């Protein structure tokens, strides 16, 4: 089996994490997983949603979007359709849950962090790139809150990152791009902490069902890929910007 | 650890699958997983959505809803809010993917099957009950299509069922009810074929991340529970109705 | 004239009122008018809508829905269409007005009662079944409020029930089922109190106009049918549940 | 009992029906019931809605609206709220059913008539004024269709008009204005044909239930008022315009 | 060049401004620019939108609509489409900005004025007629606020009016009616103060681009037309009503 | 007067036009007017909207959006609000009209071009940057259509670009950035052809009305700025990419 990109089965695409990509947000990252490019911003507002008022804790919520021509053929703009599609809602709920798992809300103070992940170019794996990049934007926003003295302790519990794995032409592969994704028999998104615990796993058989041993192989690939992603996050965070 | 219901860790709730529950649909099932009760109907319409026209194959799509007072406190009716929430869309997409995996669309002819899963009483596990019950309603609809000579072969590829597993007070348990679900550290929904392949797995750490060995234990519990569910589906299908 | 069902012109369908049909709501009734089956729940929330705040009185509002396949052919789900249709709004406004007529809002305290009527199987007369069944669910909710000491007196002013009458093949008939309803020349819904006063009458000529003497005959039929319905409500309320 | 307006119990407000009120519509009427003023237009389009295609018959549908400041305090514009309210939908469905009763759709040819009733000033009875005025606009549109040779015979079966009656301070009164309407115990809208048959009756007890003999008295008042309205329609139609 | 209406190039249509056109609004004007007829109301509510709370100043906002058959062929009602179109929003934003320019919000007190411009018959120039007429309705509303002692000084800074100009068959013309508007090469809307300053200019080349000297000629025509409109506003305001 | 940016009154911000910014669209440009950054794509689809079918001509339409955190404080995502705001619709209508003025639709063949302008960072002048950048993306899309032989001649009639001018602290200035824009007395957007004709002018007095001589001065500034912009467009188009 040769991957369309020529990558080894356990090889990530070229990953780039560019901080301070836009200037207004408290955290702003351009994350690139190969040709997949997502702008991830973390915006801070003081106050929390009504259901949390007066509990002395913070909140994080996420939204996801795609520019209409981020993809090979143009998609109708969700703002003009008048609603977000099911895929969009599913992804933004996943991003929100994943990043909330990184935080101790009690330490965040009564602040809300809005994560916005906007795909400007799609080539597979937009949700996993979003989580991985937004984690870095989130840390930049936390730094700012720390400087302002708006926190009640260290809210960061653990780093979180995500990667996709799948079965392509019968072989488990890491970090699927679009040509693989659209032909894969199985697609599995894995969100992990840097300590190796699972936050989310979402696996779907696109064609034939997948077997327990395939699941095991895919999870191992994901674990290896995620270790590299955690290192890339750290490297990005050490850049002077 | 004692489960709130007193069940053993690997014990399903009482499952009931009642066919022909309402009279108009081609397939109509009331599925009960303990106190969780869902009406699942399969409706047949000739013709397919535009993106499939002229390809000589069929389609299946699913919708999910909850009566406003299916739950402990009343939820606003989605029809009056003017949109379906993210959770609803996520669940109905899961039901649709799961049941499409049961079918060979090329054998279905140019027919569309609408699956409607409406929760009349919720007590945890509504999505897994929906899939398990809708599978039976789907088979009744297929029988009718067969009688009408509207099929191009046997569209049923494999039986599909679903169950939830989780980590409750540190212990892997099968088929969580609401008191467990709302307190579980991890929640994992597993959709399988009767031959033991995975169609979907969706696991979420609600509190601490879960470990690979916990995942293995949960998947084994799910496998055992699903074997019983496949038997219960078969038993229901043998009932004269 | 022979009715499709073989019933006498002044004969109700078999009526069943099952209390405590689902477990979460303060009042929950399955009402059956023959093959028409509606789940009616009464949910209590403390507080009132803004326009009533601080006036020391309560409120009741109603919503109505149909499962997509409650009918002979599938209707699009209103939640996915993004709005409730005119028929739905018309019916839920009727249910709300009818049940508000049963109550003295000043005695209800600052509580809101939500009535939800969800048709799981339709065979004509869903709005009159809804009113008749919801009245019983409302009483169960009032009992609970009484127990909790949340009332400022007895809010029940009068029992309310509803039935349809019509002109079918030139003859006034009571409690139309779907085959009659879809062929009737005139359709009249009557909401009454147990003391014999009218709360609502809504009559529509589907074909030829109807004459004053036909109106008189239909109203008399309705009065007789409603007496039986009031007795059936009382019987249901005396059941130990 | 003295009516706020000083009118006798069986006295209509001053009624004015002005044809050709605006210039574009095939039929355009300003109808005034005292201070209630409604612009009624009848617009003709060739073709029919999908559910009627190819059946060789026509259709009529109606819409109703109120200018935001047609009333004593400003109502939010339905176009900016993003939906029509339940009251609006209820009224426009009533107008549509009432005017369809005037026509033999088989004679209309495959044409659709849109009735638009827009209240520019409200003082009670907007729905009955709308029906009465729109009937005249409809006739002007039919004349035009006749001239164009677009009809398949005479589609007019019968003239239709509407009036409200009610119980005000214990006394049945005709054609309620807003001060009466908002204080009435009972409000009854009656749509009739010029031959004396009922098309619609919709009665609501606002306070106490109403009794059969009150219903009889109100219907008799309505009958008398409607005779005058039919004469006023005829007079308007004889005006050279 | 002969204008379709036979008017001179610098000639306004017949302008009529009728105050107190409907009875409920604080200001209510029917403005007619030839066959274009718009009902303009100014409604006063105490209080201001959230973003202005506690700043001791007032606000003015505007909405615009067209009756479905104000035009030659029927337009779908925006309330039933579920949203206002881009043209509507653009026009109502223009009306709002234009009339806010007439006021010193600090003198208005914490009051909000809602301007509603509803076109009952369209023949070109509805937005400029709306602004010109609404200015008069606004003054009537201010008078009422003055009487009630609700103002904090004189809020009127300057009178505002609007007119359209364009290039029709190569010639600059004033106050385009629909036959001109639909064939014009350029369409320019000018909003001015009575002192001759510009509030808004919006020019669009419909066909060929327009040249600076054409712009100058159109602006001069507009200035002359607006002087007459300011006189007509004053005359209307002097009418005893 | 010193501009916040230190620029001369007639000085543009640094303009950058980067072609092929994303890979999927037929034309894709990142346009930067200083800190304002907009991704402009031109997408080609064969076929035209219904109102143009069978007329042998093409169409161009435009949409505009802003990432939620393109601005100093986060704006709610229009897709999640469920509708595009008035400002968005106004801008996208302007972009569409402006670029349609560049084309001879008869030469375009039955193709539709979708222009999408998505602001990733806003600092004033997003609509003028959008038009200027989208013009270049449009040319790249036309080149592709030409290669495919899908055109019926040369559709490009003229180059179009746009710039804003305004009165800031009493002085006419070119190409306002956000600090100027939010404090300007007057804001004027000018869309021109490279031959010097006006396509659109939209001027708004934010504070005091503006005078004819100020308008003249602003238009002259715009003309000078636009000449530079036309040169920058040409330079970008000559880049090998």
Q: Please work out, in degrees rounded to the nearest 5, the angle formed at the alpha carbon of residue B67 by the alpha carbons of B66 and B68.
A: 105
pLDDT tens track for A32-60:
999 999 999 999 999 999 999 999 999 99
**How close does chain F come to E145, measured CA to CA in Å?**
24
Mutation target vs E (from D18, D20, D24, D38; most E CBs, 10 A cutoff): D24
E106 phi and psi, to 5 degrees? -65, -25
Residue D192: list chain C partners with CB under 8 A: 209
B87 is in an annotated binding site: yes
End-to-end CA distance of chain B, in Å? 42
Distance separating alpha carbons of residues E16 and E37, to the nearest angstrom: 9
pLDDT band for F241, please (50, 70, 90 cuts): low
CA-nearest residue to F41 within chain A is: A69
F81 phi and psi, to 5 degrees? -70, -25
Q: What is the mean pLDDT of residues E212-224?
A: 97
Residue A219: list chain B partners with CB under 8 A: 212, 215
Q: What does the DSSP 8-state code read for residue D125?
A: -
Residue E219: list chain F partners with CB under 8 A: 212, 215
pLDDT at F37 over 80: yes
Contact of A141 with A78, CB cutoff 8 Å: no
- Flag if B74 and C43 touch (Cβ within 8 Å): yes
Residue C85: list chain D partners with CB under 8 A: 89
Q: Dihedral through CA C143, CA C146, CA C147, CA C148, nearest 10?
A: 130
Q: How many helices (H) and strands (E) does chain F have?
A: 5, 9
Q: What is the mean pLDDT of residues A19-24?
A: 97
Residue given tokens 């379709």 in the structure block: E4
Q: What is the mean pLDDT of residues F10-18?
A: 98
**How close does chain E come to F237, measured CA to CA in Å?**
23
Of the partner residues B199, B205, B211, the one whose CB lies closest to the CB of residue A101: B205
Sites in chain D below the pLDDT cut of 70: 241
Closest C-alpha to A180, from A29, A11, A40: A11
Of the partner residues C93, C101, C209, the one whose CB lies closest to the CB of residue D193: C209
**ipTM of the modeled complex:** 0.96
Q: What is the mean pLDDT of residues B54-59?
A: 94
Distance separating alpha carbons of residues D145 and D143, to the nearest angstrom: 5
**How close does chain B come to A97, measured CA to CA in Å?**
9
Residue C199: list chain D partners with CB under 8 A: 204-205, 209
E13 is in an annotated binding site: no
pLDDT band for A207, please (50, 70, 90 cuts): confident
- Flag if A212 and B219 touch (Cβ within 8 Å): yes
**Measured on CA atoms in the order A2, A8, A11, A13, is the torsion positive or negative?**
negative
Paired tokens of F166: 């305004």
pLDDT at E42 over 70: yes
Q: Which percentage of chain E shows pLDDT scores above 90?
A: 97
Could you tell me which residues of D are annotated as the binding site for phosphate? 87, 125-127
Residue D179: list chain E partners with CB under 8 A: none
Residue C41: list chain B partners with CB under 8 A: 67-69
pLDDT band for F239, please (50, 70, 90 cuts): confident
Could you tell me the strand order of the sheet in which A111-121 lies? A15-19, A27-33, A36-46, A111-121, A59-66
Residue D224: list chain C partners with CB under 8 A: none
Could you tell me which residues of A are annotated as the binding site for phosphate? 87, 125-127
- Flag if E86 and F89 touch (Cβ within 8 Å): yes
Tell me what pLDDT residue D207 has: 83
E125 is in an annotated binding site: yes
F112 phi and psi, to 5 degrees? -115, 135
Mutation target vs D (from E39, E44, E67; most D CBs, 10 A cutoff): E67
CA-nearest residue to C157 within chain D is: D208
Which residues on chain A place their C-beta less than 8 Å from a C-beta of chain F? 22-25, 28, 35, 37, 39, 41, 43, 45, 63, 65, 67-74, 77-84, 88, 114, 116, 118, 120-122
- pTM > 0.80: yes
Contact of C123 with C36, CB cutoff 8 Å: yes
- Flag if E198 and F198 touch (Cβ within 8 Å): no
Tell me what pLDDT residue E207 has: 83
Tell me what pLDDT residue A140 has: 98
pLDDT tens track for B84-139:
999 999 999 999 999 999 999 999 999 999 999 999 999 999 999 999 999 999 99
Distance separating alpha carbons of residues F132 and F115, to the nearest angstrom: 12
pLDDT at E241 over 70: no
Average pLDDT, chain A: 96
Q: Collapse the DSSP code of B26 into the 3-class scheme (helix H, G, I; strand E, B; otherwise coil) and give the result.
A: coil
Tell me what pLDDT residue C239 has: 84
Tell me what pLDDT residue B156 has: 97
State how far the alpha carbon of F13 is from the alpha carbons of F10, F16, F131, F174, F187, in Å. Answer: 10, 10, 16, 9, 17
**How close does chain A come to B93, measured CA to CA in Å?**
8
Give the number of other CB atoms < 10 A from CB of residue D131. 32
Tell me what pLDDT residue B72 has: 96
Q: Which percentage of chain B shows pLDDT scores above 70?
A: 100
Q: Please work out, in degrees rounded to the nearest 5, the angle formed at the alpha carbon of residue C193 by the alpha carbons of C190 and C196.
A: 85
Paired tokens of C130: 């809804």
Residue A201: list chain B partners with CB under 8 A: 201-203, 215
Q: What is the 3-state secondary structure (H, E, C) of chain E?
A: CCCCCCCCCCCCCCEEEEECCCCCCCEEEEEEECCEEEEEEEEEEECCCHHHCCCCCCEEEEEEEECCCCCCCCCCCHHHHCCCCHHHHHHHHHHHHHHHCCECHHHCCCEEEEEEEEEEECCCCHHHHHHHHHHHHHHHHHHHHHHCCCCCCCCECCCEEEEEEEEECCEEEECCCHHHHCCCCEEEEEEEECCCCEEEEEEEECCCCECHHHHHHHHHHHHHHHHHHHHHHHHHHHCCC
For chain A, list the domains and their CATH numbers.
15-238 (3.30.230.70)
- β-strand partners of C168: C171
Tell me what pLDDT residue B239 has: 84
- Flag if E83 and D82 touch (Cβ within 8 Å): yes
Mutation target vs F (from A24, A34, A43; most F CBs, 10 A cutoff): A24
Torsion region of F56: left, alpha or beta (phi above 0 gives left; psi -120 to 50 gives alpha): left
Distance separating alpha carbons of residues B116 and C65, to the nearest angstrom: 14
Give the number of other CB atoms < 10 A from CB of residue B80. 16
Mutation target vs D (from C100, C194, C209; most D CBs, 10 A cutoff): C209
pLDDT band for F83, please (50, 70, 90 cuts): very high
B54 burial via Cβ count (<10 Å: 0-12, 13-18, 19+): exposed
Closest C-alpha to B136, from B21, B51, B45, B6: B21
C126 is in an annotated binding site: yes
- Flag if E205 and F196 touch (Cβ within 8 Å): no
CA-nearest residue to E89 within chain F is: F86
Distance separating alpha carbons of residues C89 and D91, to the nearest angstrom: 11
- Flag if B201 and A201 touch (Cβ within 8 Å): yes
């Amino acid at each position: 089996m040769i991957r369309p990109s020529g990558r080894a089965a356990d090889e990530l695409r070229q990953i780039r994490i560019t901080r301070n990509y836009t200037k207004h947000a408290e955290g702003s990252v351009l994350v690139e997983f190969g040709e997949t490019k997502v702008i991830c911003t973390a915006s801070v507002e003081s106050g929390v949603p009504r259901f949390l008022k007066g509990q002395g804790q913070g909140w994080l919520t996420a939204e996801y979007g795609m520019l209409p021509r981020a993809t090979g053929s143009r998609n109708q703009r969700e703002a003009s359709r008048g609603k977000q599609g099911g895929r969009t809602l599913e992804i933004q709920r996943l991003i929100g849950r994943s990043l909330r798992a990184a935080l101790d809300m009690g330490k965040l103070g009564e602040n809300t962090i809005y994560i916005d992940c906007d795909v400007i170019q799609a080539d597979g794996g937009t949700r996993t790139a979003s989580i991985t990049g937004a984690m870095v934007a989130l840390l930049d926003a936390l730094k700012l809150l720390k400087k302002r003295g708006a926190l009640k302790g260290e809210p960061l519990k653990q780093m979180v990152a995500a990667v996709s794995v799948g079965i392509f032409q019968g072989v488990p592969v890491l970090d699927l791009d679009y040509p693989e994704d659209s032909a894969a028999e199985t697609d599995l998104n894995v969100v992990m902490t840097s300590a190796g615990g699972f936050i989310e796993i979402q696996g779907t058989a696109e064609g034939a069902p997948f077997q327990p041993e395939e699941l095991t192989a895919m999870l191992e690939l994901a674990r290896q890929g995620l270790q590299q992603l955690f290192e890339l996050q750290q490297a990005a965070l050490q850049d002077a910007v």
